[in-house]
């Protein structure tokens, strides 16, 4: 299939064509969806999208990924990922993402070999290289390639060209796994992930596109029981809409077991839990764990 004329797109297509065949680690977000769409046009059935399914992937994200892959026309496989069984991941130290991505690339490597594909690739772009992202180290160790980085794509480039390709997710807000909603040192459990994902789904149903439910433990002192607070981050353009829907958001949070539901006035921003990390703690592998 033909691609629109664009120097960046030509460069990406050439990189993928040179690879010959690829497994795309595909989450349904704009970056990996864009890579899947271009790789499918360039390589046809020598491109397979793989979505790792685990408790850290929200149900609505999985469903949207399936629908989008069908629209792209690419072969798409859902494969179980078991990072939550890894104690190094579950205890949620600052290197959690490294253990998560290590499991992803372990799975993708096995499937790549099973499906007879030459490379595993991801949707990392140049803008991703600036934040604290231990998952990038896992990709490097696993030998996974980042064709968007190799071709020189920024996030703005991805969105511009995804729109040119008529991908419906070209303006989709950034997404991350549900475990990223838990503060470092707070244990990752299936129950907490389900609680977070369910409240985010409820907020999306209210018409808010960009929402993060940050989970925080509260209480547990003498004479009190431990409970959880939802600190909800909303994209600033949608803050007014979320405030108008605050009663419905609070009701949903209470129904899902949160003792408190708060709106973060600073709004949504990526990696807000990283704001509390010192430079030293970014390299430490031990923190007190909230069990």
Q: Cα(62)–Cα(28) distance, rounded to whole angstroms?
A: 7
The CATH number covering residue 40 comes to: 3.40.50.620
134, 164, 194 - which closes a domain: 164
139, 164, 189 - which closes a domain: 164
Q: Cα(82)–Cα(71) distance, rounded to whole angstroms?
A: 28
* Total structural domains within the chain: 2
- Looking at the fold, whether 142 and 220 belong to one and the same domain comes out as no
Q: Residue 137's pLDDT is what?
A: 86
Q: Residue 276's pLDDT is what?
A: 60
- Looking at the fold, whether 110 and 182 belong to one and the same domain comes out as no
- Please indicate, yes or no, if residue 227 is contained in any of the structural domains: yes
- Looking at the fold, whether 54 and 141 belong to one and the same domain comes out as yes
Q: Residue 284's pLDDT is what?
A: 46
* Chain Cα centroid distance, residue 161: 20
Q: Residue 207's pLDDT is what?
A: 94
- Looking at the fold, whether 84 and 151 belong to one and the same domain comes out as yes
Q: Cα(26)–Cα(120) distance, rounded to whole angstroms?
A: 10
- Looking at the fold, whether 160 and 39 belong to one and the same domain comes out as yes
- Looking at the fold, whether 121 and 214 belong to one and the same domain comes out as no
- Please indicate, yes or no, if residue 233 is contained in any of the structural domains: yes
* pLDDT one digit per residue (tens) for the chain, 291 residues: 688 899 999 999 999 999 999 999 999 999 999 999 999 999 999 999 999 999 999 999 999 999 999 999 999 999 999 999 999 999 999 999 999 999 999 999 999 999 999 999 999 999 988 766 778 888 888 899 999 999 999 999 999 999 999 999 999 988 889 999 999 999 999 999 999 999 999 999 999 999 999 999 997 666 667 799 999 999 999 999 999 999 999 999 999 999 999 999 999 987 665 666 555 544 444 444 444
- Please indicate, yes or no, if residue 249 is contained in any of the structural domains: yes
- Looking at the fold, whether 118 and 202 belong to one and the same domain comes out as no
The CATH number covering residue 237 comes to: 3.30.70
- Please indicate, yes or no, if residue 43 is contained in any of the structural domains: yes
129, 164, 199 - which closes a domain: 164
- Looking at the fold, whether 132 and 191 belong to one and the same domain comes out as no
Task: Judge whether 202 and 232 are in contact, CB under 8 Å.
Answer: no
- Looking at the fold, whether 105 and 34 belong to one and the same domain comes out as yes
Could you please report the per-residue DSSP string of 107-175? HHHHHHHHTT-SEEE----GGGGSS--THHHHHHHHT-B-HHHHHT--HHHHHHHHHHTT-TTTTPPP-
- Looking at the fold, whether 134 and 258 belong to one and the same domain comes out as no
- Please indicate, yes or no, if residue 148 is contained in any of the structural domains: yes
Q: Which domain holds residue 136?
A: 7-164
- Looking at the fold, whether 85 and 126 belong to one and the same domain comes out as yes
């Amino acid at each position: 299939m033909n691609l629109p004329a664009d120097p960046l797109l030509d460069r990406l297509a050439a990189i993928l064509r040179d690879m010959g065949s690829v497994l795309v680690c595909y989450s349904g977000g704009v970056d990996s969806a864009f890579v899947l769409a271009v790789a499918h046009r360039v390589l046809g059935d020598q491109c397979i999208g793989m979505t790792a399914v685990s408790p850290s992937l929200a149900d609505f994200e999985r469903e949207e990924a399936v629908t989008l892959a069908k629209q792209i026309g690419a072969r798409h496989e859902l494969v179980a990922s078991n990072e939550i069984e890894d104690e190094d991941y579950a205890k949620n130290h600052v290197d959690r993402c490294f253990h998560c991505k290590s499991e992803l690339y372990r799975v993708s490597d096995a499937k790549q070999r099973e499906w007879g594909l030459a490379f595993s690739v991801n949707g990392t772009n140049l803008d991703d290289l600036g934040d604290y992202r231990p998952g990038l180290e896992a990709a490097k160790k696993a030998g996974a390639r980042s064709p968007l980085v190799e071709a020189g794509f920024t996030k703005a480039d991805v969105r511009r060209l995804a729109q040119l390709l008529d991908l419906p997710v070209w303006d989709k807000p950034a997404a991350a796994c549900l475990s990223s909603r838990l503060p470092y040192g707070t244990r990752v459990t299936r129950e907490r992930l389900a609680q977070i994902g369910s409240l985010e789904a409820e907020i999306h149903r209210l018409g808010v596109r960009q929402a993060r439910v940050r989970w925080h433990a509260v209480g547990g002192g003498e004479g009190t029981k431990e409970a959880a607070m939802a600190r909800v981050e909303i994209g600033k353009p949608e803050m007014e809409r979320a405030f108008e829907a605050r009663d419905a958001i609070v009701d949903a949070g209470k129904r899902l077991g949160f003792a408190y539901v708060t709106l973060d006035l600073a709004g949504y921003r990526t990696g807000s839990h990283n704001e509390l990390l010192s430079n030293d703690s970014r390299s430490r592998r031990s923190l007190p764990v909230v069990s």
